[in-house]
Structure 1
Amino acid sequence: MISKLPDAQTSIFAVMTKMANECGAINLAQGFPDFDVAPKLIDRVHHYMQKGMNQYAPMPGVPALREAIAKKIDHTYDVSISPDEVTVTAGATQALFAAITAIVHTGDEVIFFDPAYDCYLPTIQLCGGVPVNINLDKNDFSIPWDEVERKITAKTKLIIINTPHNPSGAILREDDINELERLTRGKEIYVISDEVYEHLIYDGETHSSVLKNAELRKKSVAIYSFGKTFHATGWKMGYTIAPSDLTEEIRKVHQFLVFSVSTATQWALADYLEESDHYEYLPDFFQQKRDVLLRLMEDSRFKPVTCRGTYFQSFSYAAISDRPDREMAEWITKTHGVASIPLSPFYTDHSDNKQIRLCFAKSEETLKQAALKLCQI
């Protein structure tokens, strides 16, 4: 059999989590919280299961949830969208797959930025697209817009952005979004904006959603995750927001991937979104965790990279070792009992800047135990 993804390997998240389990290490590798989902949200899921909402949901999503999402977008970004522009998906990764598949045809060029979330490249390849990767600045992970302008050709069909950015924790600002709009103006180039960490943004910064740019909205797909927002990554609940022409094509793919997602959970989320407090507390909540980790690591030999969003904090270990980052992450897991993620697997060219990523969506006690071990290196 000829593989469609001959270079694809087991996800680095799965590899490091398996190693953490085998070694009994503290898992700061894979991005999941070690604290519970809000009891009120659990109760609402149970309520709707008991009420009999256990069969197929409508393919685009339960109308009540799509209406709640539209209200949330209006409340959060002062942007009016129609519930008909919302499609509820089995997590953000499925949303990304459906959106990329809907847009990209054989031979289309797709610009994306490394280090990149690991599903972008294989999905482009499965669609017959031509990946055009551009490395972010290795110091602050900013987009080199002059290089983007040089890489845009008549074959460019899609640009994928991610803010707040996984794995670096960098953010895009309004000037970045405006530059993207300028570079795509008058061209048949679509945009996918991966915004799953929209509420996890710190230091008084605000989230620069592609939805807030009126021109980009006309040709963009914005992608979000309830799993990231409500600490329920295992539920695999996300959604897309896109204009009607793009939404129609996304749903054509979506219906043959999963058709629909958990009915009771959709009804529960519709109720839970009624109170904005359920997500507006998140910046302060996670900034406190980031700051705790940074403070605990002050006496270590690891040097933090600026993090403005997500729940990931990267550290340089260049002053400690010249080992390749994957080897370093494995060594730390096995000998010091803390699992991290090396950044080189997020690069198409496997760039190794001697950095590892830690997830701080953990209890303070977990962070203390992990930092104590890391400070001994």
Structure 2
Amino acid sequence: MNPLYATMPTTIFERMSARAREMGAINLGQGFPDSNGPADVVDAAARALVERSNQYPPMAGLPELREAVAAHYRRHQQLDLQPEEVIVTSGATEAIAAAILALVSPGDEVVMFQPLYDAYLPLVLRAGGVPRLVRLAPPDWRITAEALDAAFGERTRVAILNTPLNPAGAMTGPDALALLAERVIACDAVLVSDEVWEHVVFDGRRHVSPMALPGMRERTVKIGSAGKIFSLTGWKVGWMCAAPALAGPLSRAHQFLTFTTPPNLQAAAAYGLGKDDAYFEEMRANLARSRDRLATQLGEAGWSVPRSEATYFLSLDLAASGIALDDATFCDRLVAEFGVAAIPVSAFYADDPVTGVVRLCFAKRDETLDAAAERMARALAVLRA
């Protein structure tokens, strides 16, 4: 086998979704809602498709979307961004790829946090970067000064942070962000801040972008996603925000990837970002209700369900639930024998994985969650015995 294949594995999401289709299972693995998104945003895309140009939009994005992103972050996160500091991409994963290709040269060390989104490591390796991994673990998934000091060094050029953290459903607290910012500044590095879940936070919590921290405005690449904000994951509309010195290299990397993104979807995303606060509050409330619906039913069946602070996901603690299986074996049996697809959190580690935690997506209709909870109750009764 070509050794390059080892750095570009098939994603766990594709593998488990394929198993779900094959088995006719309920898919709580891959993180997508089973709704069609807000009707007015979808209507805006449909209107733009027939009323506006369908030819190449500007490489950096429609001016109205770049302006909308900057205005949105001024309003919601008090960030002083200008439209020219926004580059529209075909999804957040393309933004991550462009940032890595623009900023990482062969031999550069890149600090990443496990569990990590599965695209980070293959992209860093393909760029010639040297991964320096910080291992986070339940129950608090805490970033410590000691772990950061062991990872950062004189060859550190980039750090990649996902905040809020997928798959843990955890927020990165202000103390941890401050510790990280200190190391990034000391190493004269750049932070690629993957903030796609920035609006999907619960229980009165507030997302803080690392870009807002002292000294980080000029050395942060902030990545966002319309797909996550509007539950329209198939649209693949994302963006990168960065100061001009970084935005130039980022845009040059982007031009050789997808170059641009469908203009009607950009126009609709611009419309959506201007929606009033009530939309964002209702979106969070509805997702929190779905989280609580699934967590309550699982808890009543006997599952140990740590609290989810953010994202579309909650976790199961297998050992605390009385399950003596590792997470990968459990997920294989769950989809094959009980008809529910889940994601083993060990898949988000490159080494020394946490093997006793499973991720479930709760961004589903009530009937989907209820059916999954019933099957999960049966699974617990069998697998615990």
State TM-score, norm by structure 1.
0.97
**Number of the residue aligned with 2:290:** 289
Of 121-130 and 144-153, the range deviating more from structure 2 = 144-153
Distance 1:287 1:342 in 2: 22
Kindly indicate whether the alpha-carbon contact (under 8 Å) linking 1:33 and 1:231 is maintained by their aligned counterparts in 2: yes
User: Which structure 2 residues correspond to residues 266-281 of structure 1 after superposition, within 5 A?
Assistant: 266-276=266-276, 277-281=278-282
Return 5+ residue gaps in structure 1 as ranges.
Answer: none
SS at match of 2:256: helix
Counterpart of 1:243?
243
Q: RMSD in angstroms over aligned alpha carbons? A: 1.4
Q: Distance in 2 between matches of 1:315 and 1:269?
A: 34
**Pairwise mapping of residues 97-108 of structure 1 onto structure 2 (< 5 A)?**
97-108=97-108
| Matched residue type, 1:360 | F
Aligned to 2:57: 57
1:265-344 alignment to 2 at 5 Å?
265-276=265-276, 277-318=278-319, 319-344=321-346
Partner Cα distance (1:152, 1:54) in 2: 46
Report the counterpart of residue 383 of structure 2 in structure 1.
none
- Paired residue secondary structure (2:337): helix
Give the Cα–Cα distance (whole angstroms) in 2 for the partners of residues 254 and 280 of structure 1. Answer: 33
Q: Give the Cα–Cα distance (whole angstroms) in 2 for the partners of residues 251 and 326 of structure 1.
A: 39
Partners of 1:332 and 1:173 lie apart in 2 by 33
Q: Deviations over 1:271-327 (max 9, x none)?
A: 222223333432222111111111111222321123110010010111433222111
Q: Is 1:21 the equivalent of 2:24?
A: no
Matches within 5 A, 1:214-225: 214-225=214-225
Give distance in 2, aligned partners of 1:297 and 1:186: 45
Please give the residue correspondences for 1:1-377 in structure 2 after superposition, counting only pairs within 5 Å: 2-276=2-276, 277-318=278-319, 319-349=321-351, 351-376=353-378, 377=380
Displacement, 1:153? 1.0
Tell me if structure 2 keeps the 8 A contact 1:192–1:221: yes
Seen in structure 2, the aligned counterparts of structure 1 residues 352 and 79 have a Cα distance that, compared at 3 Å, is closer
* Structure 2 residue ranges without an equivalent (≥5): 381-385
Preserved contact between residue 222 and residue 242 of structure 2 (Cα < 8 Å):
yes
Note if contact 1:160-1:192 (Cα within 8 Å) is conserved in structure 2: yes
Pairwise CA distance, 1:350: 5.2
Which residue identity is paired with 1:365? E
For the 8 Å contact 1:108–1:130, the answer to whether it is kept is: yes
Distance in 2 between residues matched to 1:184 and 1:48, nearest whole Å: 42
Give the superposition deviation at 1:3: 4.1
Distance 1:359 1:270 in 2: 27
Give the number of aligned pairs: 377
Contact map agreement 2:161 2:191 (CA 8 A) in 1: yes
Whether the 8 Å contact between 1:61 and 1:260 is mirrored in structure 2 is yes
Report how far residue 354 of structure 1 moved. 1.2
Name the SS for the 2:40 alignment partner: helix
Deviations 1:331-363 (A, max 9, x none): 011111111000111001151431110000001
Residues 162, 40 of structure 1: alpha-carbon distance in 2 compared, 3 angstrom cutoff? same
State the alpha-carbon separation in 2 of the partners of residues 107 and 304 from structure 1: 41
In structure 2, relative to structure 1, the CA distance for the partners of 1:5 and 1:125 (3 Å cut) is farther
Sequence identity, in percent? 36
